[in-house]
Each structure stands twice: as C-alpha cells, then as structure tokens.
Amino acid sequence: MVSAPLSVTPRRVPDMQASATARTASLSPSRAADFMQCPLLYRFRVIDKLPEAPSAAATRGTVVHAVLERVFDAPAGQRSVPRARSMVVREWERLLKKRPELAQLFPDESEGAQPGALDAERLARWLTEAEELVERWFSLEDPTRLQPAERELWVETKLESGLRLRGVIDRVDIAPTGEVRIVDYKTGKAPRPEYAGDALFQMKFYALVLWRLRGEVPKRLQLVYLGSGDVLTLDPQESELLAVERKLLALWEAIRRATETGDWRPKPGRLCGWCDHQAHCPEFGGTPPPYPLTIQPALPLEMPGQRTGEDRDTDTDGAAGAEGADATADTGGADGADGAAGERDGGGGAGAGGAGGDLPAG
C-alpha cells in the first residue's frame, strides 16, 4: 500500500518531566487498560510511581518495534529479511546505551565474572528470538509493497468533556484513495477468539483519536501478532467508536473519584502473577504506601448528556465509581508479559496535583 500524507502533524513523545498541570485529565490506552485490569495497579504506576523491574519480554518488544519502524528507512527493494535481522543487535545496543540498567536482564553469574558482565550465551539466545519475530513479520506483510504515511506517530485530541486522549500508533497507512489503516505490532501471541474484542480496545482508542482529529473514521484496524503469526483486523463503525468514547468518559470519572477518595481497590485476575507490586498489594498480604494526595469529597465529572443520579448505575457504559468502571470490561492488560506498549505510549503520567483537584495524567 502506497500511502498519501496524513493530515495530522506528528509529534514525538513529549518530555515526561512536563508539568502535571499541563497533562491533567489525559488518558492513554495502556493506562486505561491498567485501571480496567486493576485500579490499584493504576495507582501504583501513575500516583505512587513505584519502580518496576525491566523484563526480557518487554525489552524484546521494544527492540523489535524499533526494527520494524526503521526497516522502512531503506528503499523498498532493500527491505529484506537478512537486513532486518541484522538490525536487531544494533537496536539492542542503542537501547542498552540509553538504559544501562537493562544489562541486569542477562547477568553473567559464572564464578569469577566481573560485575556488570553479560552472559553472552543467554543474550545470544534472546537476540535470536527477537530476530525470529522480525523474520516472521515478513511472512505476514510485505514491506517492499508498503510505504507508511506515519511510523511511531504521537497523537492527541481533546474531547468536549476536557479529557485528552493520547498515545503512539505504530504505523499508519493511507491508500491513494484516502482510506486509513492503523497497524499495531504485538510480539506476543494472538488472544483466544473470546478475548479478541478486548484486544481491539487499544485499536479502537486510536481510531477514535484519529477520527476526532481528521473527521473521518479509519477504514481498518490491524493487529499483527508476531508471536503466533496471526493478523487480527476490524473495520470499525462510527457507532463502535462512540461507544468507546462513552466508556472512556465513564472510566475517567471513576479514576477521578478514586483519586479524590483514595479508594483504589485491587482486582485479582489472571495477570496478578506478572505484577511487580505484590509486596504492596493487600491481595498478597502487602500494604500500599501512604496515599500521597489529599482526600476530598468526590465530585462528578461533568460530561455532556450524561445522566445523573440513581439511574447512572444502570448505564452499561457508565460507572459510578472505581468499582463500577473496572467492571465495564477487562482488556486483558498490555499484551500479557509483552508490556512494551506501555513504554511507547508514554508510560505513567506526570505526578498528581495536590488538594486543588488536579488529577494524575494516565
């Protein structure tokens, strides 16, 4: 697909040290997924900013995404499997230079090893696995016939309610006739059919943002699963994106209420085993750190056309509080152990405001 220019001015991910005020009331797909997966996880990541150990799976995802972004720098005829595989080591070295702490993923534990030395054998196996994921992509898409309009595109839009939606789209293709396709790479395996709708939540989020920016619903959403060699697609309808918008507004109201009341409830689930914060989670006998914000009475988030009062609890897209919103849907988290998307969409938000009512950016 040869792409025409996209009428959205691309911006790189902003400085994560930006002020909290500038990023108040914003939500990304990963942080929305965090809250739906477990409100307490959202608090740990966004408000408490608890550190998380790097994982080999997430780091591999970051490296593979970098390769698939830069493979298009070469002329179409030079986008080959050998060339792409050779880029894996270079992207790993680039990432390691930027984040030296990643060396702890492959420590040399042999007797007499120097501190900080890498286990060459383990690292080589890991790099080979990343190369195999890159090679599998060539069996799913033909990069010699693609010319993306955008790669790693930062997008942001502000809804009428004041809520900002933001994130980074892996790839945007635009046909000469104007149809838009949003593509996202996953280094994990495709979900079972019953979870396919949850997996597409992130893509509908991006489709909603582009629709609000361009005034046209994207033609196709495409998830490329490199771990299993599957491609999941959806041609979204306007009604679906409106439903996603209602859901996000209800979700943000629940986040706002939890922020003001300090009521962040854990939600045990199948991803708890991957969580770095078990020592602070009541479900595992832990105690959360002291809440850093001032507790204040919860106020409803004003949203155009939203019902108020008792009938709000009966709205299938609504949520009256933290407990309500996290029950609306479970996206299954950020690609299971493959959490690279969380890094690329900006990770946790800026620090929360104080008693004045500022909220943490999601």
Residue pLDDT, tens place only, 258-286:
999 999 999 999 999 989 999 999 999 99
Average of pLDDT values for 95-100?
96
Q: Give the architecture (CATH level 2) of 1-13+24-51+146-292+314-351.
A: Alpha-Beta Complex (3.90)
Q: How confident is the model at residue 99 (pLDDT cuts 50, 70, 90)?
A: very high
In the predicted model, is pLDDT for residue 107 greater than 80? Answer: yes
User: How does pLDDT run across 146-180, given as a tens digit for each residue?
Assistant: 999 999 999 999 999 999 999 999 999 999 999 99
Q: Backbone phi, then psi, for 291, in 5-degree steps? A: -70, 125
Q: 175 vs 302, which has greater pLDDT? A: 175
User: How does pLDDT run across 179-225, given as a tens digit for each residue?
Assistant: 999 999 999 999 998 888 888 999 999 999 999 999 999 999 999 99
Q: 342 vs 74, which has greater pLDDT? A: 74
Q: What is the predicted pLDDT for the residue at 257?
A: 94
Place of tokens 């689930």: 269
Q: 93 vs 344, which has greater pLDDT? A: 93
Q: What is the predicted pLDDT for the residue at 44?
A: 97
Contact 41, 34 (CB under 8 A): yes
Spatial separation of the C-alpha atoms in residues 52 and 104, rounded to whole Å: 13
Strands of the chain, DSSP E: 26-27, 150-158, 164-174, 180-186, 220-225, 230-234
Q: Is 66 exposed, middle or buried (0-12, 13-18, 19+ CB in 10 A)?
A: buried
Spatial separation of the C-alpha atoms in residues 343 and 41, rounded to whole Å: 16
The domain ranges of the chain are 1-13+24-51+146-292+314-351, 56-145
Q: What is the predicted pLDDT for the residue at 362?
A: 56
Q: What is the pTM of this model?
A: 0.77
Q: How confident is the model at residue 356 (pLDDT cuts 50, 70, 90)?
A: very low
Q: What is the largest CA-CA distance in the chain?
A: 68
In the predicted model, is pLDDT for residue 55 greater than 60? Answer: yes
User: How does pLDDT run across 18-38, given as a tens digit for each residue?
Assistant: 333 333 589 999 999 999 999
In the predicted model, is pLDDT for residue 94 greater than 90? Answer: yes
Q: How confident is the model at residue 116 (pLDDT cuts 50, 70, 90)?
A: confident
Portion of the chain with pLDDT greater than 90, in percent: 68
Q: 327 vs 189, which has greater pLDDT? A: 189
